[in-house]
Each structure stands twice: as C-alpha cells, then as structure tokens.
Amino acid sequence: MDTHKVGSDTTVLADSLEIPGIGHIPVNAYVLKAREPVVVDTGLSVSDRDFVDTLGSVIDPADVRWIWLTHPDRDHTGGIFDLLVAAPRARVVTTFLGAGIMTTERPLPMDRVYFLNPGQSLDVGDRRLRAFRPPLFDNPATVGFYDEKTRICFSSDCFGGPMPTAELAESGHANDLKPEELRAAQLLWAAVDSPWVHVVDPVKYRASIEPLREMSPEIVLCTHLPPAVRMTTGMIETITMAPDADPFVGPDQAALEEMLKAFEPGSTPAAAT
C-alpha cells in the first residue's frame, strides 16, 4: 500500500487489484485529520494486507474517532474489526442497512455504531461532513460525504475507473490519463459496478446527479480512482453518459480456459462435462 497526502489534511491509503482484461482497480481508503479524526473505509479483505499497520504510518489508530464505512463490501471492510480494537474510542458511521449487511459475516458491535442517512451531517469538531447518496453505486447502503471545510467529496465507488498500471492506480492522479482515456475507464467501471444504470429512467438518473453538480467539489476522492483535483465538471459529464454506454459482458467459460492456459503454459484445461 502507498500513502500520500491530498489537500491540506487528507491522506490516501492506496492499494489496487489487477483484474485480467480490465486493468488495475484502485482500492483507496482515506484519513481525514479533523479535530475528531475520520478513517474512510478500511481496505481490502485479503490476508496479506495489514490495514492498521499502514494506517499507523499516518496517524496513531488510538486517536481515530470515526470510521466512515461508505458501504459494507469486502473491498471497503478489510481492516474494520482490527481497527475497532486499535481505536477503542472510534464509532462506525453507517446505515441501518449497512449494519444489517455486516451481520451476514460478522456483526458490528452495536454500541460502536452511529447511524447516518443521506441528507444528514456529522460534526467532527472543526467541520461538518454532509452525507449524500452518490448517483452511481453497487450497494444499497452506500453513503458518501462532502467535507464543507476542504470542499472534498468522498464519492465511494462513483467516478471509479481501472488504471493501466498498478503504479498509476496507487500513486497517480486521475489527470495522468488523457481525457478520452479517463472517460473510457470511468464508463467501463460504471457498466461493471452499476449495471442497473442501463435500465433505469435516464431522466431520473441524470436528475440524481444534480446535487453533486451543485456541490461542485474541488477534489473528488473515490475508492476506485486516483485523486481527482479540479476535474469535477468533466467527470460529471462522463457519468451522465453512463446509461447510453455499452453494457459490460464478462468473460465466459471458454475465455476462462484461455486465461488458465496463459497462467500455466503447456497445460490443457479439462474438457467441459
């Protein structure tokens, strides 16, 4: 994992996963050094990641007061239970549905949970964090937020896009790509992560983008995109195109067998029965 600052008081804890045929998917968590420090998501749920150790290079985990869980998918919850131990004063910001989904694997301690719905705000001592529902999402419990002090929008999965290299995914910036490359990556991600966007009423969908346009954040911090500084207008125009983009169709079994051949040169995949 790589750590680097963006803005005056926010640090990216950057990771990535390579998805064959798609690219390197950034998987970011964030630390917001407010008066009451906030950790936004807790990284991948894979055995070789130590989220709390990486976090400790940025802030003493014991100082963390809030863990904002943008939604309870496994690429957002990897370090949450270790962090709850290391940060005994921290509470998990989520929704009723988010806490419920977590119980299907391991329940959150309910005395450590703080329910917050879109449209509500959280006071973290020196600023308010305004919760909102991003226009694109893959989990019904998704809640992002806007930091009114720094004009940073934490958008969860919305605006994501695969990168061509792990280095760019973990250490780059969204404008390292050419505009047409970024647009293609974001439309691909929208089709992969939010396939419902192709079947909803496009007028109602585009209306859901307007609050974000009015917010006009200076910086957008997405889980699955490198930091995007002063790029909001162009990225909003991209996601307005999502209903009309090509739907994503994943590899079938024949394609999987070709992948396996590439992973193990000389092997012959077993015939289908």
Report whether pLDDT(185) > 60: yes
- What integer is the mean pLDDT of 47-62? 95
With left for phi above 0 and alpha for psi between -120 and 50, is residue 77 left, alpha or beta?
A: alpha
Report whether pLDDT(135) > 50: yes
User: How far is the CA of 120 from the CAs of 66, 115, 132, 143, in angstroms?
Assistant: 16, 10, 8, 10
What DSSP letter does each residue of 214-271 carry, written as one string? Answer: HH--SEEEETTS--EES-HHHHHHHHHTGGGSPPP----HHHHHHHHHHHSTT--PPP
- Give me the pLDDT at residue 7, please: 87
| Sign of the CA dihedral with 91 first, then 40, 143, and 131 last | positive
- What integer is the mean pLDDT of 243-257? 93
pLDDT in tens, 219-239: 999 999 999 999 999 999 999
- What integer is the mean pLDDT of 146-152? 96
Report whether pLDDT(50) > 60: yes
265 falls in which pLDDT band (50, 70, 90)? low
269 falls in which pLDDT band (50, 70, 90)? very low
- What integer is the mean pLDDT of 20-42? 96
Kindly report the backbone phi and psi dihedral angles of residue 56, in degrees, each rounded to the nearest multiple of 5, phi listed first: -65, -20
SS3 108: coil
SS3 129: strand
- What integer is the mean pLDDT of 176-180? 96
Report whether pLDDT(214) > 50: yes
- Between residues 266 and 49, the one the model is more confident about: 49
Give yes or no for a contact between 134 and 144, defined as CB atoms under 8 angstroms apart.
yes
Mean of the per-residue pLDDT values of the chain: 94
Instruction: Give percent of the chain with pLDDT exceeding 90.
Output: 88
Kindly report the backbone phi and psi dihedral angles of residue 264, in degrees, each rounded to the nearest multiple of 5, phi listed first: -130, 85
Q: How far is the C-alpha of 76 from the C-alpha of 44, rounded, in Å?
A: 6
- Burial class of 187 by CB neighbour count within 10 A (0 to 12, 13 to 18, 19+): buried
- Give me the pLDDT at residue 47, please: 87
245 falls in which pLDDT band (50, 70, 90)? very high
Residue bearing tokens 């496009």 = 202
Give yes or no for a contact between 75 and 223, defined as CB atoms under 8 angstroms apart.
yes
Report whether pLDDT(272) > 50: no
Q: How far is the C-alpha of 227 from the C-alpha of 6, rounded, in Å?
A: 7
User: How far is the CA of 64 from the CAs of 38, 83, 86, in angstroms?
Assistant: 6, 9, 9
- Token pair in block for residue 255: 């394609």
- Give me the pLDDT at residue 273, please: 40
